[in-house]
Amino acid sequence: MVSFLVDSNASVDIQNKKGDTPIHIASTKKCPILLETLISATEDTDITNNEGKTALHLAIEHQREQAALLLIQANSDVSTLDNQGQSALLKAVMGHCSLSVVEALLEEGADVYAIDEKGNSPLRSAL
């Protein structure tokens, strides 16, 4: 069904009342094929929802390792901060995400010193 909609040029960047796009929603599910299809149909995986979160933030919050890695490989911005000032790397470290996601974020230049509104940084949280 999603492939049909994408092939019919349906917008994958449309946002619901929470500001979530289909990519935001797919990033929280255990269906990497769906996420891959949606990623291939957009030029922007960095749209933020009403909480300032990208699909990468949500994938990490929901501990969807494969989704997070797909988004990182699709050049999602690893530096985007949500409305609380939290980066994807901080969420990964605080949420005990897999080492492979943390490594991928670091390889893409995630800032280990970025401080959120509570004074937390990825480096401090990892210690």
The pLDDT of residue 43:
85
Asked whether 74 and 86 are in contact (CB, 8 A), the reply is no
pLDDT per position as a tens digit, 55-102 = 999 999 999 999 999 999 999 999 999 999 999 999 999 987 899 999
pLDDT per position as a tens digit, 6-45 = 555 667 788 999 999 999 999 999 999 999 999 998 889 9
Using the structure block, give the residue that is written with the tokens 């996420």.
35
pLDDT per position as a tens digit, 34-59 = 999 999 988 899 999 999 999 999 99
The pLDDT of residue 84:
97
First CA to last CA distance, the chain: 45
- Domain 2-126 belongs to what topology? 1.25.40
The pLDDT of residue 11:
77
